[in-house]
A and B are shown apart, each in its own frame.
Chain A
Amino acid sequence: MSYGLSIYKSDGSLGFSTADITWQTLDQFTVAANASVNNTYNEASGFTIIAQRQLVNVPPDAQEDYVPNVSISGNTVSVSPQSGLSSSQCIIHVLAQDT
């Protein structure tokens, strides 16, 4: 390339460059069972935000394991139990991408 940034690995091969696209990680946290969390990420203003949910330490064949709801409004991420349901412990990955 004639402009931009290229970052090479120790073996000399290209590792990352400004031709790439990525998701950056805004936050990672574990929500306790039945808990609610609201986080605002001012540093991600104007970015697209997504959240991945991963159930933790649950016996998946023995009980109804409800993940919490995640709603994203602007740069605020809100996590809360689904309406009328008990939520299980859950890992939340909050990812951001400039678009």
Chain B
Amino acid sequence: MQKAFIGLAGLVAAGLVAAAPAQAQGTIKIGVILPLSGQFADTGIQMRNGIQAYMKQHGDTVAGKKIELIIKDTGGINPPVAKRLAQELVVRDKVDILAGFVLTPNALAAGDVSKEANKFMVVMNAATSIITEKSDKMIRTSMTLPQAGDTLGRWAATKGGIKSCYTMVSDYGPGHDVEQSFVKAFTAAGGKIVGSVRFPVANPDFAAFIQRAKDLNPECIMIFVPGGTQPAAIAKAMAERGIDMTKTKILGTGELTGEQALQGMGRAAVGILTGWHYDYKQDTKENKEFVKIHQELFKRNPDLFSLGGYDGMHAIYEALKKTNGNTDGAALVNAAKGLKWNSPRGPMSIDPETRDVVQTIYIREVKMVDGEPTNVIFDKVENVKDPVKEEMKKKTN
């Protein structure tokens, strides 16, 4: 039996060696690590769509060299696999740049590899603040949740005129980030938190939690749930429990009112206030083109994951143009620092100190436009940096 196995192993190994690509001259390889299967598959697919949309628009050659993507699947939250894939991309496929990363644990694990191998790394979604601290060759082109939470909290207590709030978030990193940043900013601006609850991440039935909130009859409820089926489910639970949107203000981040969520909620979503960096209906020239090409190629609208991929590629292209095709990690990250451009979301830049994204956070309200619930922007805060790292800087100064 072992003979057969050895034979089998030999065949498999031979196949793998044969499949390893030869290093072509004048090619820049980007290793993209995404969840393309499992429960986060949709986010990974959209990110890949965004990347491919950018390459379709701008061609696949930069600074005289051809861009080659090597895409790997982590299957979901799987840091050992993400780390191994990053290692293999560096060691076996000899990639010049690491990119992708929807999920925080995977980004953190791969950050170690970026540091050790000195490879330029572009985080295109994972939104926990500390990620960029893992490697000094890393930049982020998506957003950090505290950017949204902090801005929303401050706005709510000041311009929003809200005095007290109840918070409900999913019990994991992103949820904690939003809760902490919102609460901090809200209370600093004079608001009062009347209660809070954290629900398990994979939670189908919100009725009980909404009931608890309703018991306290709060002036406002701040909600964070991951995208997918949960936003619609929680909105329905609110409608069922009789939460009156005219009496109780609902605040949230953009994932609460993403395209799928709004479709699921329908009219029930009207009145929800969110703080976020992007909506596919955003009214900028760049966005209109982005949506157009995304629809042409993939027959669906882009979302924040597509945007992260799109802008991530832009950062890579611009950095490469600046270094004239030099893929050294330090050179690229220095070229990326301070990059400014107009993204589909509006103006954004990469902070030279923290290598994180600086952008505008918009305050939006859901209204019916042309018969569809839509996020309508009515206020904004510009040049928002990641508040967590800003705090850390203040403490060390």
Do they bind each other? no
